[in-house]
Amino acid sequence: MKLNRPLCITMLSIVTMVGRVSFSESDVIDRHNRKTQGHPEATSDTSDLTIKAYTELLKEPKEEMVVLKFSATWCGPCQKLNPFFKKTAKNLAKYKNKIKFYEVDYEEQVAIVKAYQITSIPALIVLRKSKTAPYGYEKESIIFNVDPIKKALLDIEKKVSQAE
Per-residue pLDDT of the chain (164 residues; tens, 9 = 90+): 444 433 322 222 232 223 333 333 333 333 223 333 333 333 357 888 888 888 888 887 888 899 999 999 999 999 999 999 999 999 999 988 899 999 999 999 999 999 899 999 999 999 998 888 777 888 889 999 999 999 999 999 999 888 76
How far apart are alpha carbons 113 and 97 in whole angstroms? 25
Residue 12 falls inside a structural domain = yes
Residue 9: count other Cβ atoms within 10 Å of its Cβ.
15
Residue 2 lies in a domain: no
Single-letter residue type at 6: P
For residue 64, which of 128, 140, 2 has the smallest C-alpha distance? 128
pLDDT at 40: 35
Q: Is residue 1 in a domain?
A: no
pTM of the model: 0.70
> What local confidence, expressed as pLDDT, does residue 63 receive?
86
Active site residues per annotation: 75, 78
Tell me whether residue 153 is in a domain.
yes
Which residues lie across from 103 on neighbouring strands? 48, 69
Cβ contacts of residue 164 below 8 Å, gap of 6+? 95
The full DSSP string for 9-42 is: EE-SEEEEETTEEEEES-EEEETT----S---SS
Quickly count: other Cβ atoms within 10 Å of residue 37's Cβ: 12
Residue 14 within a domain: yes
Helices (H), 25-145: 51-59, 76-91, 110-115
Closest CA to 19 of 136, 110, 145: 136
Total domains present in the chain: 1
Inside any domain, residue 13: yes
Instruction: Compute the residue count for the chain.
Output: 164
Query: For position 148, which CATH number holds?
Result: 3.40.30.10
Q: Could you tell me the residue range of the domain that residue 130 belongs to?
A: 7-163
Question: Torsions phi, psi of 121, nearest 5?
Answer: -130, 155
Strand partners, 145: none
Q: Which amino acid is at 138?
A: E
